[in-house]
Amino acid sequence: MENPPYLNGLNPEQLKAVLQTEGPVMIIAGAGSGKTRVLTYRIAHLIRQEIPAFNILALTFTNKAAKEMQQRIYTICGAEAKNLWMGTFHAVFAKILRFEADRLNYPSAFTIYDTDDSKSLIKTIIKELNLDADKVYKPSVIYSRISNCKNNLINPAAYIASPELMDYDFKAGRGKFYQIYQAYVDRCFKAGAMDFDDLLLNTDKLFRLHPDVLLKYQHKFKYIMVDEYQDTNVCQYSIIKRLAAAHENICVVGDDAQSIYSFRGATIKNILSFQKDYYDAKVFKLEQNYRSTKNIVLAAGHIIANNKEQLEKTVWTDNDSGEKISVVRAVTDNEEGRIVAQSIFEQKMQNQMANSDFAILYRTNSQSRSFEEALRKLSVPYRIYGGTSFYQRKEIKDMIAYLRLIVNPNDEEALKRIINYPSRKIGASTIDRLILIANQTNQSIFDVVCTATRHSILGKTSATVYGFGLMIQSFRTMLESHNAHDLAYHVAKQVGLLTTLHTDKTVEGISRYENLIELLNGIKEFVEDDTSELDKDLPTFLQDIALLTDADKKTDEDKDKVSLMTIHASKGLEFPSVFVVGLEENLFPSQMSLGSRQDLEEERRLFYVAITRAEKKLSLSFATSRFRFGSLLSCEPSRFIEEIDKKYIEMATFKGISPLIGLKKELPTNTTAQLISSLKRNMGGKTLSPKLSSSFIPEDLQELAIGDKVEHNRFGYGEVILIEGEGGQKRASINFDDFGAKVLVLSFAKLRIIK
């Protein structure tokens, strides 16, 4: 590896300092400044200095980032790169915890509960405590509250010791939160299970309570590197601090302007106070953007300047000015989809670009639908990242539940899932009884299952339950002798999963069967993969996939496809042409974030992340109305659009937006009224039936008079019986043929007058 004379705008001396091997370093890296490259270089540099790779720990946030970086280092340094400890916080800590599980009285093959498992357990606990799970104690709310506590190192004991926290929940009507939290922690422990947050929390606990273990890992990890440091939470911070305490050879990389995970407990404080934690820290700023055009970089800087809480830095670029940022208004979400798809089609033709050069970024997963439809119509291949992952499909979770139970019989959630699937006539009441006995006698549910015949309340089903226990135990005896794939295949056949799914000849049934086969093939691949030094046993496999997300799943032949993903998922990526869509108030910024300045600033950082993904061409779009909860909702353009200096943007003209109607000639102007009326004329009748077309014009409704016959997009036909109020507050009482009398605010109502 030759040192480049010039890297990321650093002069040779600075570069030498960045690559230095001793002492704490913080690198503040603006968007597109090539921070991954710097991090990669630093690690490669260490290895080249004969520092053994197993002494280096590199922590990232996503599997993708870890894999990518490992790959790059491999090409520079060769096989030694395999010995690096590089991975996500969760993956690396899970590995450590597996080694040291006995120190915390966990089985080394502990289960990792995913979010569904956690919520399901919380729900059972809430029911057991006779609390209202529908309104007051919603499992998802309780879950995020617990997660929040854990991320801030607050265990149940610390919780009950804090009057403020107790008071907060009491005022929110969750007086029994502590009981749920405590029960949840107990149940997880009893089940030999850790949730995502436990992987961090327990690592912290391990190092805190066992100095000898800490010493061992301090000694091992002489060099520590942390990517995306701005997204670390209190718990991660604590672990890193402890690990780095011996050598202080710690290098963190981050960008406070791209901190978008505070909902997960991330706190910018960590990056802001790095220099206080390590008084001799060297700090570097990478401010040159190599990715985007001037227009994009400047506009982004302009937007982020609206935030108060940030480190001072100025991102700049040497690149061309490039095209202006185009802003597009659509009437509905479906039309937004069509405009974007059409625009991709055109850009491809004009500039000979590949599908993979494009990305559509949105705030929420549910927005993907209209873009999928539109792309499909134009036969543009696409790939959605995120959404329901392969591992969340029912048939996959069922199969995995069997494997989990075999590896860890105490796994309560796995047992509940499959004790009666395929059907064994063990119903809900029997399961409730089993849990009751388990709780009373302080055994695991599986213990009760294995002694089922001794419990007379179970009646005749006790024999069936007992038989189920025997079966699982027989599988367990195969753990030692069989590899993961052989065992899984045996189980799938024995239990009847394969035949059950195979006999179902519906379309979904066939796909379920195929998915199961795919999972089995995946396990086979895992077993036969000899590029990795890891064990090939079932526990390792389960631990692996528990931390996998959809984005990490086999990059099959997704060669040339348009990428669709949430902005969160797009972090760290770049595309020549990017569409940021759904820029509407209450959607982006999200409704939930309007409460506080901090939350709004995070949304703005999210927007900053979104637009800095673009290299050459950036398009923003919004719809004036959108389907939500099945009905049409009117929307206002996002405040973020207004925050961009006008000199960087242009309102797009709708050249050929509507292939469905074959509109070829360019529309003359782009004033709002004309756009709307021309769009109206050219609307394809897909979203709204032709009868109920989008003839919503406010001016018309101001002239609405008593006695007029009107048509509403949901309520059908009716007659105006009363008009009251003025201007925006003007309301009409309308007697609908099928829905009776309704009072509608005219400035919002989707009405048209029938002449």
Partner DNA sequence: ACCTCAAACATTTTT
Partner DNA sequence: TGTTTGAGGT
Positions in the binding site for DNA (CB under 7 A): 61-63, 88-91, 115, 134, 140, 196-197, 260-261, 263-264, 363-366, 369, 386, 420, 423, 425-430, 461, 547, 549, 551, 566, 568-569, 590-593, 599, 627-631
Q: Nearer to DNA by C-beta: 182 or 586?
A: 586
**Among 397, 384, 422, which Cα is nearest to 519's?**
397
Instruction: In angstroms, give the least distance from the CB of 728 to DNA.
Output: 26
Instruction: In angstroms, give the least distance from the CB of 139 to DNA.
Output: 9
Q: Nearer to DNA by C-beta: 248 or 552?
A: 552
**How many CA atoms within 13 Å lie on the side-chain side of 525?**
9
Instruction: In angstroms, give the least distance from the CB of 556 to DNA.
Output: 19
Q: Nearer to DNA by C-beta: 356 or 365?
A: 365
User: Tokens standing for 282?
Assistant: 């060297």
Residue count of the chain: 755
Would you give the distance in Å from CA 388 to the centre of its chain? 10
Which residues are CB-contacts of 171 (< 8 A; sequence separation ≥ 6)?
none
Contact predicate 137/180, CB 8 Å: yes
Which residues are CB-contacts of 158 (< 8 A; sequence separation ≥ 6)?
none
Q: Using CA atoms, how far apart are residues 32 and 36, in angstroms rounded to an integer?
A: 10
- Examine the residue annotation and report whether 100 is marked as an active-site residue of this protein: no
Which residues are CB-contacts of 628 (< 8 A; sequence separation ≥ 6)?
none
Would you give the distance in Å from CA 226 to the centre of its chain? 20
The SS3 call for residue 291 is: coil
**How many CA atoms within 13 Å lie on the side-chain side of 211?**
1
- Examine the residue annotation and report whether 277 is marked as an active-site residue of this protein: no
Q: Nearer to DNA by C-beta: 134 or 318?
A: 134
Other Cβ atoms less than 10 A from the Cβ of 685: the count is 13
Q: Nearer to DNA by C-beta: 260 or 406?
A: 260
Exactly one of 197, 228, 256, 336 is catalytic; which is it?
228
What are the φ/ψ torsions at residue 524 (nearest 5 degrees)? -60, -45
Instruction: In angstroms, give the least distance from the CB of 281 to DNA.
Output: 27
Exactly one of 119, 205, 613, 752 is catalytic; which is it?
613
The SS3 call for residue 226 is: strand
Instruction: In angstroms, give the least distance from the CB of 93 to DNA.
Output: 10
Q: Nearer to DNA by C-beta: 62 or 342?
A: 62
Peptide linkage before 422 cis (omega within 30 of 0): yes
Exactly one of 60, 88, 111, 258 is catalytic; which is it?
258
Instruction: In angstroms, give the least distance from the CB of 505 to DNA.
Output: 15
Sign of CA dihedral 683, 688, 693, 699: negative
Contact predicate 534/350, CB 8 Å: no
Q: Nearer to DNA by C-beta: 370 or 410?
A: 370
What are the φ/ψ torsions at residue 293 (nearest 5 degrees)? -75, 165
Peptide linkage before 163 cis (omega within 30 of 0): no
Instruction: In angstroms, give the least distance from the CB of 161 to DNA.
Output: 26
Q: Nearer to DNA by C-beta: 518 or 599?
A: 599
- Examine the residue annotation and report whether 613 is marked as an active-site residue of this protein: yes
User: Tokens standing for 565?
Assistant: 């993903």
Exactly one of 204, 227, 255, 413 is catalytic; which is it?
227
Q: Nearer to DNA by C-beta: 286 or 396?
A: 396
Buried b (16+ CB within 10 A) or exposed e, 179-188: ebbbbbbebb
**Can you list the alpha helix ranges (DSSP code H) found in 451-571?**
461-476, 484-495, 497-503, 507-528, 538-546, 567-570
**Sequence-ordered strand ranges (E) for 177-275:** 193-195, 223-226, 250-254
Instruction: In angstroms, give the least distance from the CB of 182 to DNA.
Output: 21
Other Cβ atoms less than 10 A from the Cβ of 456: the count is 7
Residue with tokens 């399961």, as numbered in its chain: 431
Contact predicate 553/389, CB 8 Å: yes
Q: Using CA atoms, how far apart are residues 709 and 622, in angstroms rounded to an integer?
A: 32
Peptide linkage before 4 cis (omega within 30 of 0): no
Which residues are CB-contacts of 162 (< 8 A; sequence separation ≥ 6)?
154
Task: Say which DSSP state 274 is in.
Answer: H
What are the φ/ψ torsions at residue 735 (nearest 5 degrees)? -95, 105
Instruction: In angstroms, give the least distance from the CB of 439 to DNA.
Output: 20
Q: Nearer to DNA by C-beta: 607 or 654?
A: 607
**Among 208, 192, 210, which Cα is nearest to 200's?**
208
Instruction: In angstroms, give the least distance from the CB of 697 to DNA.
Output: 24
Q: Nearer to DNA by C-beta: 298 or 426?
A: 426
> How would you class 556 by CB atoms within 10 Å of its CB: exposed for 0-12, middle for 13-18, buried for 19 or more?
exposed
Contact predicate 60/33, CB 8 Å: no
Instruction: In angstroms, give the least distance from the CB of 462 to DNA.
Output: 12
Instruction: In angstroms, give the least distance from the CB of 266 to DNA.
Output: 10
Q: Nearer to DNA by C-beta: 134 or 556?
A: 134
Q: Using CA atoms, how far apart are residues 306 and 325, in angstroms rounded to an integer?
A: 19
Instruction: In angstroms, give the least distance from the CB of 169 to DNA.
Output: 18
> How would you class 9 by CB atoms within 10 Å of its CB: exposed for 0-12, middle for 13-18, buried for 19 or more?
middle
Angle at CA of residue 105, ends 103 and 106, nearest 5°? 105
SS3 letters across 403-414: HHHHHCCCCHHH
Q: Which residues are annotated as catalytic?
A: 35-36, 227-228, 258, 613
